[in-house]
Structure 1
């Protein structure tokens, strides 16, 4: 019997995760495992060989989407010039909108997290990683552009991180709820309001 490589397993997990993202975008979290199985083109056994259930699939979707955003932040950090907080926020929200065509899906996750402890834990982990990445970039920026010492830069970046997360949540909520929402104008104003 041929041995299954880790690369093959990862490719199948990605296939399932992509199918789940499409299902959640189309049907919300009411999408069932049967929907995900049908969308993926794989058998139920293949799906359950990779994921124990819908909660694990949701976690994989969240990790995939936010993992790309955190990777974006690391790429921004490796540049010669440290990007301003407004540039960082714009990059993250633009990438997020590209990955998740329907930002209403994110609102659904937040709503589910209020009553479902497993989803709440997932949201806590994802936002924890996002905050840590913002904090790291904003601390570097505060040292470089504001001339702050280590302690002051971390305190400044901590306060700024809360504001950046709030602006991001506002962007996501408004883009999901209001047809007339002008995303580029919102991001332009956010860049103007944030330190630069």
Structure 2
């Protein structure tokens, strides 16, 4: 019997994560089941459980993948030696989230469920912690280039702005999911008017 390569396993896990994201988006986290992921992926339940122990682990893997892309995008944005400004960070994050999760309702559903379901709460905490890490790193790098705005302490300045940035990102996702007339460009212009430049 031929050996399964790590590249093949990675490709199969990516296939499963993409199918899970489609299932979660279509039905919401609570209503989507592993059977829905099976249907979306064309794989067997055994193939899915061979890589992920259940829906929670699968959600965590999907969230981690989406977030790792954001970190990569922020690193790429700073390759010319100029870190992105706070509004550029917000724009990159929201643009990437919109590409990866075209229907933000699944995110809002997860946040709501996290208030009543301890298991989902733990997963959401992990995801938010990862987002905070990405945001803090990006903000710290930008403030390090702007000592006039941070009194020589880029870490403290990044820490101070972090909850505001997280709130702006959450507000963008909630409004995009709930408001029929949401204008993402206007939202980002408004954010640019209040964030440090």
Structure (1 or 2) with the greater helix fraction = 1
Report the counterpart of residue 88 of structure 2 in structure 1. 87
Distance (Å, rounded) in 1 between the aligned partners of 2:19 and 2:27: 12
Dislocated runs of 4+, deviation >4 Å:
none
Report the counterpart of residue 22 of structure 1 in structure 2. 22
Report the counterpart of residue 41 of structure 1 in structure 2. 42
Q: TM-score, normalised by structure 2?
A: 0.93
Partner SS state of residue 168, structure 1 = helix
Cα RMSD after superposing both structures: 1.4
After superposition, where does 1:96-175 map in structure 2 within 5 Å? 96-147=97-148, 148=150, 152-175=153-176
Q: TM-score, normalised by structure 1?
A: 0.94
Q: What is the total number of aligned residue pairs between the two structures?
A: 195
CA contact (8 A) 1:24 1:31 kept: yes
After superposition, where does 1:1-20 map in structure 2 within 5 Å? 1-20=1-20
Change (3 A) 1:77 1:129: farther
Change (3 A) 1:79 1:127: farther
Q: Which runs of 5+ in 2 are unaligned?
A: none
Partner SS state of residue 118, structure 1 = helix
Report the counterpart of residue 76 of structure 1 in structure 2. 77
Deviation at 1:112, TM superposition (A): 1.7
Deviation at 1:149, TM superposition (A): 5.8
